[in-house]
Amino acid sequence: MLAKIIAILWKDMLTEFRTREIIVSVFVFALLVMVIFSFAFGTGVDITESIAPGILWVALTFGGVTGLNRIFAVEKENSRLEGLMLCPVDRAVIYWGKLAASFTFMMAVAIVVTPIFLALFNLPLFLPGLALIIVLASLGFAAVGTLFSALAVNTRARDIMLPILFLPVVVPVIIAAVKATAPVLAGRPWADMLIWLQILIAFDIIYVVIATLVFGFVVEE
């Protein structure tokens, strides 16, 4: 099972490495959002806790939607999704492979975008707490986004459909990520963000389990 998940991840990584369709568009989008917001609100110490977390998560969330749209679009061309579905694997394996690819893309973007964000707001570059929040929130985004990307790919207006489906469902993750990021950026102790980390973990588990269970129904009919 793991070998097949890795095979799907490898295939998506190799395709993306050659086309750079997802990474470049997501990166440019996220960067633009951060720069525009930093000009609009300024980058002073006073907004570090109140507005800066929101700016980071708006950039990563909307950038993520742009990338997640492509995750199954690539399988739509040439009926490749049928090729995948013909393989002798449980539908969950296909979901986990695509989830791994979505998560990797989101992390790749975060790894580039977050240091720029921290530099823009004169914050220290090494914030382990923020890294943990990004990993947990990205997993939640990827879990929901991968499922809805599969759902939206067969609709005519898939570019609009995914944000409409995705954003309301990931609101708890966005709120928890913003709330957990604020104390990290303000240099407050870990205890202040612990409850939000627990909420992120809980939603990650819920989303991954539910998406794994319903993915087969989504792609089969």
- Which of 20, 188 has the CB closer to other proteins? 20
Instruction: Compute how many other C-beta atoms are within 10 angstroms of the C-beta atom of residue 218.
Output: 19
- Which of 46, 221 has the CB closer to other proteins? 221
Nearest-approach distance from CB 157 to other proteins, in angstroms: 21
Q: What does each C-alpha distance from 164 to 30, 42, 115, 124 come to in angstroms?
A: 19, 30, 29, 35
Answer yes or no: are the C-beta atoms of 162 and 149 closer than 8 Å. yes
Rounded Cα distance between 50 and 73, Å, is 37
Binding site for other proteins (CB under 8 A): 3-4, 7-8, 10-11, 14-15, 18-19, 74, 77-80, 82-90, 220-221
Rounded Cα distance between 178 and 181, Å, is 5
- Which of 35, 85 has the CB closer to other proteins? 85
Query: Is 189 strand, coil or helix?
Result: coil
Nearest-approach distance from CB 91 to other proteins, in angstroms: 9
Nearest-approach distance from CB 221 to other proteins, in angstroms: 7
- N- to C-terminal Cα separation, the chain: 24
Rounded Cα distance between 162 and 71, Å, is 11
- Which of 2, 125 has the CB closer to other proteins? 2
Nearest-approach distance from CB 204 to other proteins, in angstroms: 27
Nearest-approach distance from CB 201 to other proteins, in angstroms: 31
Packed helices 128-152 and 158-185: angle between N→C axes, nearest 10 degrees? 170
- Which of 81, 144 has the CB closer to other proteins? 81
